[in-house]
Amino acid sequence: MPGIGGSLLLSLVSMPLGTFLAGGTGLLIAGVEKLVLWTAGLPWASFWVARGTLVAALVGGGLAHLVVRQWLAGRVRPGIRRLAAVGSAGALVLLVPLVPLGRVLEVHVIDVGQGDAIALRFPSGRWILVDAGPRSAEFDAGARRVVPYLKRWGVRRLDAVVLTHPHLDHIGGAPAVLRSFAVEGVLDPSRAYGSDAYLEVLDEVGRRRISWWGGRRRERRSPSATCG
């Protein structure tokens, strides 16, 4: 920021000098960006936590505890007191979504664009995923939307992945999901389909030794509505 501001001020006096300083600042920013991207690619550079509100609440509670102790000892400035009060109130607000509202079935419709992905959380705490969204050369809904969403909710295991039908807008993201979670089984209608996406799902199921539950086809016959 100082370099950008300095280049703007210097350009009022001398445009070439301002341009030179701006160019140097741009190179510095580009270097920092490359360093950040490189470190982000290192193992364990980042990790998922379930519902970050819990972390925020714990931090806020710990801060409030320390400030109260110092407050009672008479060593806290008024400004810090106000900051602690605001932080504690914010922690309580963030803690509200974590209060259990009872055992209910939750339906999570995940935004995957042109496709479907619905996660079901049962009162027992188990999760089932119905479809996993689309995939293209530019966008994998499984890796970009479904997996991050489920990990934010603390999901580590899926009791079932249900694939309603083998079209790309429903199963495109399934391979990424199967690679990211422990999956008990995959359920599909057992319709023969030779698309690359469907074959990739089969490969992941076999490689990870996931149970495969094929659907059954049933026909219902009823008497004719007309009588001769």
Which tens digits make up the pLDDT trace of 12-43? Answer: 666 776 676 666 667 777 788 888 777 776 76
Rounded alpha-carbon distances, angstroms, from residue 68 to 61, 85, 139: 10, 10, 49
CB atoms within 10 A of CB 64: 18
pLDDT confidence of residue 145: 92
pLDDT confidence of residue 181: 94
The pLDDT mean for the chain works out to 75
C-beta separation of 118 from 129 below 8 A: yes
Instruction: Look up the pTM and report it.
Output: 0.55
Lowest mean pLDDT among 37-46, 126-135, 137-146, 166-175: 37-46
Give domain limits for the chain.
Answer: 2-40, 53-98, 106-213
Answer yes or no: is pLDDT of 151 > 60.
yes
pLDDT confidence of residue 227: 45
Which CATH architecture group holds 106-213?
4-Layer Sandwich (3.60)
DSSP secondary structure letter of residue 21 = H
C-beta separation of 181 from 156 below 8 A: yes
Q: In which element (H, E) is residue 63 found?
A: helix 53-72
Strand order in the sheet with 211-214: 106-109, 118-121, 127-130, 160-162, 185-188, 211-214
pLDDT confidence of residue 82: 64
**What distance in Å separates the CA atoms of residue 30 and residue 42, rounded to the nearest whole number?**
19
